Amino acid sequence: MNFARTLAAFAVAVCISSASTASACGLLGCGSDCCEAAPVCCEAPAPVCCEPAPVCCPPAPVKVSWCVKNPLTCCPIEVSACVPACCENVIPELVCCKKGFLGRKVMTFSFPCCDTCVDVVFTPLGRVIVRD
């Protein structure tokens, strides 16, 4: 019985106290004058719908082949590279020829119409590597 009186006194003290919270008042059932109404949460703004911008995909790269004179053997060889579609019928220009690593020769070709460069590497063992 002593415990019940203590609990009732505590409930009254919580309801009268100005420091009472909504959760304590709700648990003890003190009434509406004890607890303030919970603020309404702000709703998220509706998403702004915009007309989708047209998606223009660039054309796929095309494979271009041309003849190159091997600087190690002086024999012509055909090389191929993938370049943008706007350079499909363009023959590339030789920009430079330089020495590479381990005796390799590197020839750089330029496609001026689409600002693309391709390196053709000749190894001393006869292998041709195209870096596009």
* pLDDT attached to residue 46: 60
User: Which has the closest alpha carbon to 21: 4, 42, 38?
Assistant: 38
CB count in 10 Å sphere of residue 1: 5
Check whether 60 has a pLDDT greater than 50.
Answer: yes
Reported as a single tens digit per residue, the pLDDT across 25-53 is: 444 444 445 445 555 555 555 655 666 66
Global pTM exceeds 0.85: no
CA distance 106 to 118: 10
Check whether 5 has a pLDDT greater than 90.
Answer: no
* pLDDT attached to residue 99: 93
* pLDDT attached to residue 41: 54
Please tell me what DSSP assigns to residue 102. G
Domain ranges of the chain: 1-56, 62-131
